[in-house]
Structure 1
Amino acid sequence: MWPSHCKTFYCSEMKRAYTNPISSVNYQDYETLVRLAWTEDCPEEDITSVSLFSPDKQAVANLNSREQGILCGIGVLEVLNHLTGDTIQTEFYKKDGEFFQKGETLLKIQGSLVSILRVERILLNFLQYLSGISTRTYEVVQKYGQEGLMILDTRKTLPGYRKLSKYAVYCGGGSNHRLNLSEMAMIKDNHLALYSSSHEPVYKIQTRFPGRLIEVEIDELSQLEDAITSGADVILLDNFSLEDSQKAYSILKQKAPNMQIEFSGGITPERLEVLSKFSGAGVSMGYLTHTTRFLDLGLDIE
């Protein structure tokens, strides 16, 4: 379901993060990646453009959408402008998190033609990738988030792109799971393999890092009672069958109504249809970031 007019997506009621939402990013969040892309794309000179155009040749280019979506990633232009020696200027018609229709102009760049051509592919790579994540997230949240599910991202992101990818999820209306291993504790099966119960690991983390959220992952219904009494804040039901999910959800609502419930394990939009009955639960989806495609955007010289 797409809006009939341009708007920014806001989630007014539902919680948007377990810890700190990635609701904004800054110059430094883009800089390292953009500098790597800059060197990778043109280690010496753009031999085509410098051969065809003089350095003082000016031009105007428009970023046009070739399909509808949710915009994300315009902060990349601040770094690119700096790398060109401030030889380009940008006028934005849309902001991150705003919906656009097919055929809309999203921003205008003017200045040195050689510089515009130099930044074109880097600009598109960032905007198409991040807008692809935002758009995919928006589609999922619009259909299933309204059913009461908290649609969460994961740490399954391209190396170096973690914060930007999670920002893109947030721009699409999704919610953020932990950003990194330092932000929140998550006791997984590989941790529990060395313990007979989740109680001792939870206690050790609470003692060493008081105040940090703790999540316990279980993959069998038989582990549920132990997890409930462990003192954890979140219980993750990993790869549970529908029948066991229903049983675990009912037990948790009765015995630990304030404990956050989360589902995970290869969850796609099709599986969300089944999970939508578990109102208030979180659903972590690597799908949001590791199966995304580039949105179709193009930079056109006037």
Structure 2
Amino acid sequence: MNAPLNFDAALRLIRLGLEEDFAHGPDATSEATVDAAAMLTAHVVPRQPGVVAGLETVVWTMHEVSPAIDVTVHASDGDRVAPGDRLVTIQGPARAILSAERTALNLLTYASGIATLTHEWTQELAGTKAKVRDSRKTLPGYRDLAKYAVRCGGGVNHRMSLGDAVLIKDNHVASVGSVVEAYRRTTAAFPELPTEVEVDDLAQLEEVLAFSPDLVMLDNFGVEGTREAVDKRDAMSPGTKLESSGGLTLDVARAYAETGVDFLAVGALTHSVTILDIGLDADPN
């Protein structure tokens, strides 16, 4: 999975979630129904199969609410899990655990949903050289968690921000008149950064391949057009990687992968998240 989940980024989300939950006072329901001295043992359990990600957010959320809460994690991020598996056991003051429950589960189910979908893509691409990649189509504050979840599911990350790589798109090209001029300017200004160029057709691809860029994004190419693009790449600049992009879906993923492209860019991994249903089950008294 390479880089671990960033604690500081996750803690900002945890504190924001808790701030929202306590915006109008303490947990009224728990204070009314649960004795102040009551202790609780509960388990984080999936309701459906999937790939889990973000388990540490449960630990960090519980400890943010109360250091007296003891948390034991039984699984690892990236694990395939089944309904009923005990992923985490939580023991401690009942009111504190119940108050932290929703924030912890919100982050865990969100990340696990991304990891599960990414895993589906990686399974579809198995046996080819293509990897599924995410995009910057993430909600503010959630990027690190979302991209971490992609890694947990077996995918790879695109750039994390605007400054760690160059991506020349159509609006950049329009501003300077040609894709070649945009490439010339960006590589002159930021020679140390990896450079990716988006192209709309094969003619534009030929222009760009003459400069042997690191990576070319094939925007809305069909399968046959992608196969032609791979042939041109192999002939003109075999060291350049190709990335298919634009409305890709699982049912066509393998057809694209078998053309010989290196990446499939799938913004839906993070912008159309369906959570993995995971709950907190308390032991009976």
TM-score bracket for the superposition, by shorter chain length: over 0.9
SS in 2 for 1:274: helix
Deviation digits for residues 92-151 of structure 1 (CA, Å, limit 9, x no counterpart): 110111121221111100000001100111111111110011011111101214322111
Q: CA deviation at 1:231?
A: 4.4
Aligned: 1:162 with 2:132: no
Are 2:269 and 1:269 aligned? no
CA distance in structure 1 between the partners assigned to 2:11 and 2:134 by the alignment: 23
SS in 2 for 1:75: helix
19, 31, 50: which one aligns with 1:39? 19
TM-score, length-scaled by structure 1: 0.89
Cα deviation for residue 278 of structure 1 reads: 2.1
Contact 2:257 2:264 in 1 (8 A): no
Match of 2:76 among 95, 99, 117: 95
Deviations, residues 245-290 of structure 1 (Å, cap 9, x unaligned): 2211111111111101111001111121320212352110012112
Matching residue of 1:288:
269
Q: Which amino acid aligns with 1:131?
A: S
Query: Conserved in 2, the CA contact under 8 Å of 1:199 and 1:229?
Result: no
Are 1:26 and 1:75, in contact at CA under 8 Å, matched by a contact in 2?
no
Q: Classify 1:91/1:78 alpha carbon distance in 2 versus 1 (closer, same or farther; 3 Å).
A: closer
Q: Which amino acid aligns with 2:79?
A: E
- Whether 1:59 and 2:40 are equivalent positions in the alignment is yes
1:176 is aligned to 157
Code of the residue aligned with 1:28 in structure 2: it is D
CA contact (8 A) 1:184 1:212 kept: yes
CA distance in 1, matches of 2:204, 2:183: 14
The residue type equivalent to 1:102 in the other structure is P
Paired positions, count: 282
Q: Which residue of 2 aligns with 1:211?
A: 192
Contact 2:58 2:108 in 1 (8 A): no
1:279 maps onto 2:260 in alignment:
yes
Residue 44 of structure 2 aligns to a residue whose secondary structure is: strand
Q: CA contact under 8 A between 1:219 and 1:239: conserved in structure 2?
A: yes
Deviation of residue 202 (structure 1)? 2.1
State the partner residue of 1:220.
201
Cα deviation code 1:40-94 (max 9, x no counterpart):
1122110010112222211100111111111111121343233223121101110
Normalised to the residue count of structure 2, the TM-score between the two structures is 0.94
Kindly report which structure 2 residues correspond to 1:22-171, keeping only aligned pairs within 5 A, or say none: 23-43=3-23, 44-171=25-152
Corresponding position: 1:300 with 2:281: yes
Q: Between 281-290 and 184-193, report the one with greater CA deviation.
A: 281-290
Q: Distance in 2 between matches of 1:26 and 1:212?
A: 23
State the superposition RMSD in angstroms. 1.5
Unaligned runs of 5+ in 2: none
SS at match of 2:87: strand
Please tell me whether the aligned partners of residues 72 and 171 of structure 1 are also in contact (alpha carbons under 8 angstroms): yes
Instruction: State the SS of the aligned residue for 2:16.
Output: helix
Q: Distance in 2 between matches of 1:210 and 1:223?
A: 22
Of 197-206 and 152-161, deviating more is: 197-206
Moved more, 31-40 or 95-104: 95-104
What amino acid sits opposite 1:93 in the alignment? H
Work out the CA distance in 2 between the residues paired with 1:200 and 1:280. 25
Query: Tell me, what secondary structure is at the counterpart of 2:54?
Result: coil
**Pick aligned residue for 1:251 from 232, 248, 251:** 232
CA deviation after TM superposition for structure 1 residue 241, in Å: 2.2
